[in-house]
């Protein structure tokens, strides 16, 4: 999911973002936060893996969580009673004024989608469930085809088809 304030190029990304070690948090703000302002990406030891770092970079370039889309209720059921109170904000549904998915369908395979038990109060609790079949969600270490297509559209990649463009990590 893309933020309207995320209109800056990948070249600026490398000049304006910094990976910072953090004790507990894995997070980054969505989209550019101001002119010439260094953007921090906090990475805790539990996030020192490719999928987590790519997820946080997704925030930096303008992606919200997939399960925060305005249309998410048609695709996933959120169990707020099972979510740690301090992490409820990670499941807030955004409005159409806040999010532009560039016409792309809901993407269960998105690098920006949490697992079914993300931030559960206790082990074994579901925090969300796909409404369509027994899909596995949030189990990836690379951007999906849908993620790649959205990045290409946002940054005006001159690709002729979304299967030609690739994000190489």
What is the CATH T-level fold of the domain 2-154, as seen in this structure? Collagenase (Catalytic Domain) (3.40.390)
DSSP string, 101-112: -TTPPP-TT-TT
Predicted TM-score (pTM) of this structure:
0.78
The span from the CA of 28 to the CA of 151, in Å, is 17
In the chain, what are the domain boundaries?
Answer: 2-154
What pLDDT is attached to residue 23? 66
What pLDDT is attached to residue 136? 84
Choose, from 48, 56, 92, 104, the residue flagged as catalytic.
Answer: 56
* Cα angle value 135/140/141 (rounded, 5°): 175
What pLDDT is attached to residue 8? 42
Whether 56 sits among the annotated catalytic residues: the reply is yes
Known binding-site positions for Zn(2+):
55, 59, 65
What pLDDT is attached to residue 61? 86
Known binding-site positions:
55, 59, 65
**How would you write 39-65 as a 3-class SS string?**
EEEEECHHHCCHHHHHHHHHHHCCECC
Give pLDDT < 50 ranges for the chain: 2-12, 162-165
What pLDDT is attached to residue 18? 65
User: Pairing mode, if any, of strands 17-21 and 39-43?
Assistant: parallel
What pLDDT is attached to residue 156? 83
């Amino acid at each position: 999911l893309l933020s309207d304030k995320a209109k800056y190029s990948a070249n600026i990304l490398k000049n304006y973002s910094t990976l910072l070690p953090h004790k507990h948090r894995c997070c980054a703000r969505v989209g550019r936060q101001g002119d010439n302002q260094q953007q921090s990406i906090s990475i805790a030891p539990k996030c020192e893996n490719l999928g987590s770092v790519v997820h946080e970079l997704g925030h930096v370039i303008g992606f919200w969580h997939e399960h925060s889309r305005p249309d998410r209720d048609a695709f996933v059921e959120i169990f707020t009673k099972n979510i740690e109170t301090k992490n409820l904000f990670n499941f807030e549904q955004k409005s159409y004024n806040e999010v532009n998915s560039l016409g792309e369908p809901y993407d269960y395979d998105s690098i920006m989608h949490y697992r079914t038990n993300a931030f559960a109060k206790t082990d074994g609790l579901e925090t969300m469930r796909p409404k369509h079949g027994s899909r596995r969600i949030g189990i990836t270490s690379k951007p999906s085809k849908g993620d790649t297509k959205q990045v290409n559209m946002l940054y005006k990649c001159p690709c002729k088809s979304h299967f030609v463009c690739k994000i190489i990590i």
